[in-house]
Chains A and B, each alone.
Chain A
């Protein structure tokens, strides 16, 4: 079955760039929408953005700092968040939205990675 696994540094210094990669196994990233969602400790969920067939869409509140990209040869997609502060400390999840182009359904998230905690601290 399809599985998602996040990887990347667990500690990032303030003002630097947070970089995470999601490896998708058991299925191709060439279909579906692939998302990053984060959750600060003890708080709720925040959608960050997605990539779909090379096209991206970002949360307006993060748009100036976020880039999501894909490497189809490795079946991976990645997140870069620039100029991080302590407020960016969170568990970061890579997540699948199972819609296909033209779907009648709205965005929803059926498959989640286990999440990786990234702490922003000097």
Chain B
């Protein structure tokens, strides 16, 4: 989905390095999310943010931090990367407007490998 842009698309790095994954969106959505996907485990929520001043931990936040720099930007940091953080990472957005829960829309993902 070109409206949700993740950078970089691929990254290989070494254990102990600090890594930042960035997400920007042009959908005008107020809510943003970070997930990781591992084979056989599905998508797991790391952090989510409902607006610029709101940050919430998800299911697996240990070892990660986030920053919501603007409504359109949400970055994920690994302060000291470890090999079991090797995964496919997705950013997603959704809107709080409208009736009922609105679906999430995903970026193209960042494939992260930690050696």
Q: Check if A and B associate.
A: no
Q: Which residues of B contact A (CB under 8 A)?
A: none
Which residues of A are in contact with B by a Cβ distance under 8 Å?
A: none
